[in-house]
Amino acid sequence: MSLYELTIHEAGDGLAAGEFTSVELAEAVLERIVATDNGVKAYLTLTPEEALEQARIADERRSRGEDGPLLGIPLAIKDVLCTEGVPTTCGSRILENFVPPYDATAVAKLKAAGAVLLGKTNTDEFAMGSSTENSAFFTARNPWDLERVPGGSSGGSAAAVAADECLGALGTDTGGSVRQPAGLCGVVGLKPTYGRVSRYGLIAYASSLDQIGALAKDVTDAALLLGVIAGHDPRDSTSIDAPVPDYTAVLTGEVEGVRVGVPKEYFIEGMQPEVEAAVRAAVDALADLGAGVREVSLPHTGYALPVYYLIAPAEASANLARYDGVRYGLRVGESGDLIETYKDTRGQGFGPEVKRRVMLGTYALSAGYYDAYYLKAQKVRTLIKGDFDAAFEQVDVIVAPTSPTTAFRIGEKTDDPLQMYLSDVFTLSMNLAGNCVLSLPCGFDAGGLPIGMQVMGPPLGEEQVLRVAHAYERATAWHKQKPMLPSQEE
């Protein structure tokens, strides 16, 4: 097995045993990126010199007796998280040359833990999209089929993990942007409870929905990543002040007596039959492991899509107003007319999907429409959260498909925004409710494309979610299958 194929915990064991150094591990992953990323296009910015220096420092720390789950581990960062001295573009022309003077809290925690940061991964512009086709630079590709999308908006991070171009990655999830690409790329994607991970230094899309999450090769790695990045941060007013447990302690493989709910609203007409079959087989596997399975109802699920596409664009309209061509980022026009500068900068700096969502949000917030749209959407959001609260009184976790289909072809849905938005129909509700949820592989379709399954939990229910996901993963081998990229076939 090549070093780049290792999981985080396997690499950690090898480093601790002295089988290889952090520098050797980083070099192996960087060589892998050179060999494969021309096809996958997972990265927007690579920082090999910085990564090798961080690896050298990690080796020094280890030689002094230091240890830790991420010490010397090569990771990637979605390009919406601020990284000191490294470009942070949000996949947008408007921030193409923006270099932050500070690190996001989650990035700072990774650095403090001794992680080796390889670079910044591709993303839909300002995290607005389900395919990474909205990146202003180029579309990331799915390692299982380079003609298909990796999902979005954390498509670059998911593709990098699936292609062994990093051992793990950070992404962000506003309406499914960690889980949907994880499902389409056959990796693990964890969206923590809203507020469990600080959003300080995350360039905002929709502030009441955004959450930083982890993409990893298996559930154990996701637990390790969460354990490092979680925790209270006074610089984020929405950060939860609660102790961070050892998430790996619950990974016992035991689910005897765990109550698993299956929501009837998540098995809908029009979904790919192979997806439904794989998820139902996974539920049966959990039952065979000793879990109790029952049907639950989340009656307001059908409203999640319209509610999300009112609330998220409204918040985006407010958050993206700061890109005015005056303070930082792109500036177009030297006419001296402030309004013309705004128009020219935003007109050339923002892509079509960002413009669409800003216009939707501005309309929903405008005088005469606020009560009819935005306020009503917030009221229905409360009902959606109430559905989950009621369901979690009956069950410990809820299991459902991550996406209604496997990965679609690049260009297949770009002319039909509604079809693109429907890619997230199973993921949106959990962001509206603020709950925790993990996607993991549960099968493949006839074309060899991965199928993802969500394990949902209540607020701060990450331990139960990880426990159930790990038990299923340990009883199956889906996560061990790897895509055959061109460099492997040579």
Catalytic residues: 78, 153, 177
Percent with pLDDT over 90 in the chain: 90
Instruction: From 173, 135, 128, select the one nearest 360 (Cα to Cα).
Output: 128
Res 487: pLDDT: 58
Residue-wise pLDDT tens digits, 191-209 = 999 999 999 999 999 999 9
Q: How confident is the model at residue 337 (pLDDT cuts 50, 70, 90)?
A: confident
pTM: 0.96
Nearest to 423 by CA among 124, 195, 146: 124
Average pLDDT over residues 77-103: 97
Residue 400, classed as helix, strand or coil, is strand
Give the model's pLDDT for residue 325: 85
pLDDT tops 50 at residue 170: yes
Residues in contact with 470: Cβ distance below 8 Å, sequence separation at least 6, in sequence order: 219, 220, 223, 250, 251, 252, 253
- 370 CB-near residues (< 8 Å, 6+ apart): 364
Per-residue confidence (pLDDT) for residue 334, from 0 to 100: 73
CATH of 3-262+391-489, one of 1.10.8.640, 3.40.50.300, 3.50.50.60, 3.90.1300.10: 3.90.1300.10
What pLDDT, in 10s, does the model give residues 294-304?
Answer: 999 999 999 99
Question: 24-33, 120-129, 334-343 — which is least confidently predicted?
Answer: 334-343
- Candidates 188, 221, 165, 183; CA nearest to 7 is 221
Q: Can you tell me the mean pLDDT for 263-292?
A: 96
As a three-state string, the secondary structure of 187-202 is CEEEECCCCCECCCCE
Above pLDDT 70, what percent of the chain? 99
Cis bond upstream, residue 153 (ω within 30): yes
pLDDT, one tens digit per residue, over 377-419 is 999 999 999 999 999 999 999 999 999 999 999 999 988 888 8
| Residue (of 404, 443, 414, 329) closest to 95 by Cα position | 329
User: Which residues, in sequence order, are bridge partners of residue 212?
Assistant: 172
pLDDT in tens, 207-262: 999 999 999 999 999 999 999 999 999 999 999 999 999 999 999 999 999 999 99
**Domain spans of the chain?**
3-262+391-489
Q: Which two tokens stand for residue 350?
A: 């923002």
Q: At what angle do helices 22-40 and 48-63 cross, to 10 degrees?
A: 150
What does pLDDT average to over the chain?
96
> Does position 489 have pLDDT exceeding 80, yes or no?
no
Whether residue 488 has pLDDT greater than 80: no
pLDDT per residue as tens digits for the range 123-148:
999 999 999 999 999 999 999 999 99
For 45-56, write each residue's pLDDT tens digit: 999 999 999 999
Q: How far is CA 7 from CA 225, 230, 258, 369, in A?
A: 12, 20, 27, 50
